[in-house]
Amino acid sequence: MGASPRGYEAPMRIGYTLMTEQASPPDLVRHAGIAEEAGFDFEVMSDHYFPWLDEQGHSGYAWSMLGAVTQVTSRVELMTYVTCPTFRYHPAVVAQKAATVQLLSGGRFTLGVGSGENLNEHVVGRGWPSVDVRHEMLVEALEIINDLFDGGYVTREGKHFRVDSAKLWDLPETRVPIAAAVSGPQSVRQLAPLADHMVTTAPDNDLVSRWSTAGGRGNRKIGQMPICFDTDRDAAVERAHEQFRWFGGGWKVNSELPGTAGFAGASQFVRPDDVAEAIVCGDDVGAVVDTVAEWRRAGFTDLALIQVGGGHQEQFLEWAAGDLLPALRDA
């Protein structure tokens, strides 16, 4: 492929979120096939043990669903957004799972990783250390995963993990790219040299700039943005408040709370109007296009949309195919 014309910018890739916390496993897999037909460029899947709030009501096992999604899609890239490879899962097992999904998908998978949330990781009873320790564990986990992706046997005794003669026997020809979730300068500095792409949930140009100079192997900056489509805006605001009022707490809060009761308590004074200010609600295509433009201006190359409400995915996907995606591409 020849060089791009001077000044040319590739269009932002728009993805769809398979949110395990708000839909049953059979529905989620079905939505994945519909989203590909609708024209999304990629699909990301959360990896939770708990929903954020009781009202969301679901939390199936992401890796089983990913295997199924590889068989009902053929074009879209797939990604975990994100897996924590340090508490519920040993990093050697995460490497095996990622390699398997890469083979099943024909080379369409990216392993998205992060340092996790107490909400999901407390279930194995190992406690919840400070953020510095969690970052330390993630660095060590990524070193193990990278070594296994390189092929051959891996034996290691580190501060947090031991590996005894591990090897990936089914290693894909296309190495699994790694995308690391970051939240500030420290995580960028630690994770960029071990990963290909950056993940974060706010249109932060400072993080993008830091990542670009910190030694990451790839150049994708992948964000995620919730919206709540409904032809009745009031209904959309009500649903967004019911199921997504936790969203405004930010990473420092969301990573620490241990259960849905904690998130309910922390968000009890959040008003519907507060949620509507943070999340585009209704069917105004222009409002979504304008909000997506903020991510593009911040330097993001990829943005995965979340449609709030497990029972409202098919209506959203029909609207996205006919109205939203064409408008985003025109913009």
Residue 220 · residue 198 · CB < 8 Å: yes
Which residue numbers are catalytic? Answer: 48, 117
Residue 276 · residue 240 · CB < 8 Å: yes
Concatenating the DSSP letter of every residue in 41-94 gives SEEEE---SS-SSTTT-----HHHHHHHHHHH-SSSEEEES-B-TTTTS-HHHH
List the beta bridge partners of residue 18. 45
Q: Which amino acid is at 299?
A: G
List the beta bridge partners of residue 306. 226
Q: Spell out the residues 6+ positions from residue 322 whose beta carbon is closer than 8 angstroms to its own.
A: none
Residue 43 · residue 19 · CB < 8 Å: no
List the beta bridge partners of residue 223. 303
Q: Whose CA is closest to 211, among 184, 247, 249, 234?
A: 184
Residue 197 · residue 215 · CB < 8 Å: no
Q: For residue 314, which phi and psi values (nearest 5 degrees)?
A: -65, -40
CA distance linking residue 143 with residue 189, whole number of Å: 15
What one-character DSSP code corresponds to residue 255?
T
Is the C-alpha dihedral spanning 32, 16, 9, 3 positive or negative? negative
Residue 229 · residue 236 · CB < 8 Å: yes
